[in-house]
Amino acid sequence: MNKKSQINLLYFMVTMLVLLTFQSWWGERQSYRPIPYSQFQTLLVEGKIEEVRIGLNQIRGTLRVAAPNIGRQFVTTRVDLDLAEDLAKHGVRFAGTIESTLLRDLLSWFLPVLLFFGIWMFVIRKVAERQGLGGMMQVGKSKAKVYVETDTKVTFDDVAGVDEAKAELREIVDFLKDPDTHGRLGARIPKGILLVGPPGTGKTLLARAVAGEAAVPFYSISGSEFVEMFVGLGAARVRDLFEQARQHKPCIIFIDELDALGKARTIGGFGGHDEKEQTLNQLLAELDGFDPREGVVLLAATNRPEILDPALLRAGRFDRQVLVDRPDRPGRIAILKVHLDKVTLGDDIDAGAIAGLTPGFTGADLANLVNEAAIIATRRDGESVSMEDFTQAVERVVAGLEKRSRVLNPHERSVVAHHEMGHALVAMSLPGADPVHKISIIPRGTGALGYTIQRPTEDRFLITRSELENRIAVLLGGRVAEDIIFSEVSTGAADDLDKATGIARDMVTRFGMGLGNVTYEPQRQAFLGEAAMPGWQPHDYSEETAREIDCAVRDLVDKAYETAKSVLTSERATLEQGAAMLLEKETLSGEEIPRPKAAQYS
């Protein structure tokens, strides 16, 4: 029963109650004719009254013979006996009256009801809504938001850098608009499409663009909105969502963060009757139950495909999985052009140069970068956003906020200057290393006392063994510089050592570059990084092999250390010159850095 029907039923019941009350009062009033109490006493003295019924405030009676203007039945209000005698002696006509208590009686009934209703509305209902019980009549209803093409104001023109994913979704939109043309050869529309990829790559934006392009209802809901406190509510909402979709076909259902709903079922624990498993089972049943010819398409997004239930990913449920990955250089340029149109730009802005500074950035990162650059330009009271503003924005996003208040003593500044110059000289001396864009000894972020930024000239998808070894050597260049100049090392290379060890371990265990053409650890598929994986995993190799892996990793790092040491020993004069310039200027661009004399690559 909907809300309107409930209100109409309430009005009907109140109206009937009022009518019945009025009918009872009016019928009673027509049966008994009210008379004054003094007339009652006169009739009593004259012997005309046959019988009476005495109440607390009233006396009802019947006359022996009907009297004019009274009839046989009468009612009178009682008066105090002593007062009645005094009034009768003086010939005063008197009658009793009863004070009306109707309002008091009604308030005594309705005020407690209203009080409890108010407590429910303002206290209990809010608590119940937080626990997933708000609106008991709506507890099993879907919370999906319904959009039409004019609601989102986002189209495929607003989405850049993911052309393949757009092509897949554009085909679905066209299929919904003109199913006869696209199904003329017997093709059917896919039941479900799963958008997978790292956070910030534009999965939800793509779904909103579908809503903007498709002239059909678009149901949008998050996977977490199905999961409630009590078992069965999530499953009821899944049923209600698909029922609504069938009533408004053709349409699209979009479930964001599908992993909150479709996490793989496990054996053990609390068994198979918990809320999430029942909700997932209901979703699987619904996916099997609806016919794609009805024009209902399920669109979902997740950045954790590795934890989804295999039964959810099989063909016939999610027929397609579309990867929405980090954009390459042309994709970053296209994304930047979309966001650069919204800010005032200087004449020196080059979207290609900005894309070269941002390898690995997602669409959300690039949008944030443009906003940061605009904020920096506004802070300096600029008329437009310049290329230098974008350079500072990249440094802020990558390295963190400048900490000029973090004052280092002269010795620490000298150590940091030689450390960063060591990174730069090794990178400029070894072939295959990315060009150095900028070095600085201004502290940034939570722990970085300096930084060296390298800018790749192109996107790379294959890396050779020698290039990986050179990357390790560049990472160790700072520690080597400290060792050469100060004859001791500091804690400043902790992050460099961690990254270098990680590259060396991947070379041995994943890339077959240390102990023969064998891999010892599987490739991790988590889009959320290593933190998304369990902290400990069993290994399929012996303790002896584990020792060999450790020795091979150490040999790779030691070899790279010697390479960096050889470069910086021969370039000690350039190292000290560059460190002196850093101590003076604090920041050096790629053109200002002294060139190594024996550089093989620049």
Vertex 175, ends 172 and 181: CA angle to 5°? Answer: 150
Token duo for residue 541? 């190799």
Determine the Cα–Cα distance for residues 357 and 361; give it in Å rounded to an integer. Answer: 9
For 527-535, the CB contacts below 8 A with 24+ separation are: 527/196, 527/197, 527/198, 527/199, 527/303, 527/304, 527/305, 528/198, 528/199, 528/303, 528/304, 532/304, 532/306
Examine the residue annotation and report whether 420 is marked as an active-site residue of this protein.
yes
Tokens 């994913």, residue?
A: 165
Q: How distant is the alpha carbon of residue 601 from its chain centre? A: 46
Single-letter amino acid code for the residue at 111? L
- Report yes or no: 422 and 481 within 8 Å, Cβ to Cβ: yes
DSSP 528: T
With b for 16 or more beta-carbon neighbours within 10 A and e for fewer, the 282-313 pattern comes to: bbbebbeebebeebbbbbbbbbbbeebbeebb
Q: Among 439, 430, 467, which Cα is nearest to 570's?
A: 430
- Report yes or no: 106 and 21 within 8 Å, Cβ to Cβ: no
Token duo for residue 390? 């974008």
Determine the Cα–Cα distance for residues 150 and 48; give it in Å rounded to an integer. Answer: 86
With b for 16 or more beta-carbon neighbours within 10 A and e for fewer, the 128-152 pattern comes to: beeebbeeeeebbebebebbebeeb
Tokens 């924005």, residue?
A: 393
First to last CA, the chain: 76
CB-side neighbour CA atoms (13 Å) of 242: 22
Tokens 């793509």, residue?
A: 206
- Catalytic pick among 228, 420, 482, 571: 420
CA separation, residue 520 to residues 7, 405, 513, 540, 587 (Å): 68, 47, 11, 7, 43
- Report yes or no: 428 and 455 within 8 Å, Cβ to Cβ: no
Q: Among 294, 297, 266, which Cα is nearest to 280's?
A: 266
Active site residues: 420
